[in-house]
Amino acid sequence: MEQKTKKGKIEGEFRFTMATVEMRGFEAYYESESSSKLQQMYRFMRLARCVDEKCVNLQRQGKIAFYLPQIGHEACSVGSAFTLENEDWVFPGYREIAGALVRGYSLRDLFSQFRGTVNDAQKGRQMPVFFSDRSIRWVSTSAPVGNRIIHAVGVALAAKLKGDKIVSLVYFGDGTTSTADFHTGLNFAGVFQTPTIFFCLNNQYAISLPFERQTASESIAIKAKAYGIDGVRIDGNNVLQVYNVTKAAVEHARNAGRPTLIEALTYRLAGHSTSDDPTRYRSSAEVSEWMRQDPVEKFKVFLISKNLWSNEMEEKLKEESVALIDDAVDYMEKAELPSKETLIQDVYADVPDNLREELDDMLSSE
C-alpha cells in the first residue's frame, strides 16, 4: 500500500488536484470524531459483513438467484455515506449495501429485493442487489457500467440550476474509467461545475482484468486534471480517511459547487459475483496479502486500542446482527412472489391495449 505521495490539503481551501493524501493510519483522523460516531461506523461495517456472508450462503442454497459480494468494500461505503445529508442523491455501484444501510434502507426491504417478493418495491423486475429507494434518494445501479455517472451529473446540474444545496455522489469501479460515460461525465461536470462526487473504488480488477491493463496513467485520480476538477487518491481500507476526505469534498461541492474525483484504493476480497471464480485470474498469495488489510478487522483493532470496543461488545453486535438478518430472511421466505399482472404495472398511467391483450393471452394459455 505504499504510494508516492504529494500531500493534499484538507483544511481551508479545498484543492486536491493530482494529490494523494498520505496513506496514514487511523490515528491521524482520530481526534476529529466522537467516540459514538466511530462505534456507529463500525457497527454498520460489521452488519454489512454479516449480510454479505448470509447472502452468499442463500445464493448457494438456491434461495436467491445472484449476489455481488461486498466484502472488502465496507470502509469505502460506510465512510463516504456518513458524509451525506438526507437530501443528497446516491448513485451506487455494485457493492454499496453498507452505505444503503447507513442511509436507512431496511434489511427487510433489502432481502425482499434479493428474492423479488411481493414486498419488493420493484416487484421482482430488477436484478438482486440492484435495489432503489426514493425515500433515501438511492438510485438503482445498472449492469451497463458508467451510465450512472451521467445521471449523477445531470441531477447535480439540475439542483444547481434550482439553487438547491444538494450533492450527488456516484460510485463506480476502476473498469468504468475506461468507458465513454466516465469521460463525458467528468468533462461535463468540469465545464458546468456541478456539485458531484465521483467515487472510484479501485479494487484492482474489472471482473478479471487487472488494473495495470486498465490504464497507462499513474493513477485514476490524476485523470481529474484533464477535466479541470479536483482529484485525490486515498486508502479505501481506512474508514476514517475515507470519511474525512469525502466530507471535505462534499462540503466543497455543496458550498462552492466544485466536483471531485476520489480514487479509493481497496480490494475485492471475494469473487466479482457468485458466478465468478477469482482463482482463475489472481493468486492466493495476493488475496492473503490484501486480507491483512481487511478494513473491518483493522478498524476493530484500532477501536479496541482506544478502549472504544471490546470482545463482549463484538459478541453482542454479532448476535444483534444475526437476529436482524434472520428476521429479514424469514420475512423474505414467507412472502409470495409477485403476480404476473405486475409485469405491466408502473410503466404507464394507463396501460396500453396491446400490453393488456398480451397479458390476457399469457394468462389464458396457462
Q: List 19's β-bridge partners, or say none.
A: 232
Angle at 156 between CA 155 and CA 157, to 5 degrees: 90
Give the separation between CA 45 and CA 300, rounded to whole angstroms.
10
Q: Which three cell numbers stand for residue 210?
A: 487487472
For 141, the 3-state DSSP assignment is: coil
Give the separation between CA 100 and CA 229, rounded to whole angstroms.
27
Q: Which three cell numbers stand for residue 339?
A: 403476480
Region of residue 73 (left: phi > 0; alpha: psi -120 to 50; beta: else): alpha
Q: Which residues are catalytic?
A: 268, 272, 281
Backbone angles phi, psi at 167, to 5 degrees: -125, 145
Angle at 244 between CA 242 and CA 250, to 5 degrees: 95
Q: Quick check: 274 and 59 in contact, CB under 8 A? A: yes
For 164, the 3-state DSSP assignment is: coil
Strands 196-202 and 260-265: parallel
Give the separation between CA 115 and CA 89, rounded to whole angstroms.
25
Nearest of 195, 197, 193 to residue 231 by alpha carbon: 197
**Rg value, the chain, Cα:** 21
Give the separation between CA 33 and CA 29, rounded to whole angstroms.
8
